[in-house]
Structure 1
Amino acid sequence: MQISARNLIPGTVKEITIGMVSAEVIITIAPGVEVASVITKSSVERMGLKKGDTINAMIKASSVMVAKD
C-alpha cells in the first residue's frame, strides 16, 4: 500500500472495543504511551486487526490537536 502520510508511528494493538458501527483501537507506541483511534467496524474486520498485532498509526497533520499543560 502506498500512502502519502509522513506521520507514521509504529506500535502494537493493546485493545479493540467494537461498537455497532465504529471501533476504538488502543495502540501502545512506547511503554506507558498509548494512542487511541476510532475507525469503522468494517475496517477492523477487513484488516483482521487483533490484540498484539504490530501496526502503524497514521496521523493526518491537519487533524492533530495541540494543548499546553
Structure 2
Amino acid sequence: MSITAINVRNQFRGKVKEIIEGPVVSEIDVETPAGLIVTSVITTRSVKELRLEVGREVIALVKSTEVSIAAL
C-alpha cells in the first residue's frame, strides 16, 4: 500500500523506538530525527498487520479535534 495523498497535515516521519504490546491495544513510540517522541495507542491486531517492529521507519499521522492544556 502506498499513500498518494492525505488530508492530515501533522505528519512526523521517524522510527519505531518502543512497542509496549498488550492483549488488545499497544503503545507505539516513534522517534523523529529531531528526537521528538510521538506515542500512539493502536490495536495489537494493527501492530501485527502493519508488521511494526523496533527500528522500522513509519510516519505518525496526527489529527485531533481537541488539544488540552493544563496550567502548571
TM-score computed with the length of structure 2 as normaliser: 0.79
1:52 equivalenced with 2:66 (yes/no):
no
Runs (4+) of structure 1 exceeding 3 A deviation are 63-69
Cα displacement (A) at 1:45: 0.5
1:5 to 3, 8, 12: 8
**Percent of pairs with identical residues:** 37
C-alpha RMSD of the superposition: 1.7
Equivalent-residue separation in structure 2 for 1:47 and 1:36 (angstroms)? 16
Distance in 1 (CA, whole Å) between partners of 2:70 and 2:15 is 25
Q: How many residues align?
A: 68
Q: Secondary structure at the match of 2:46?
A: helix
- Relative to total residues, which structure has the larger helix share, 1 or 2? 1
Larger Rg: 2
* Residues 1:41 and 1:34: Cα distance change in structure 2 (over 3 Å): same
**Cα distance, 1:61 vs structure 2:** 3.4
Q: Using the alignment, how far apart are the partners of 2:9 and 2:25 within structure 1?
A: 25
Cα separation, partners in 2 of 1:63 and 1:16, compared to 1, 3 Å: farther
CA contact (8 A) 1:26 1:35 kept: yes
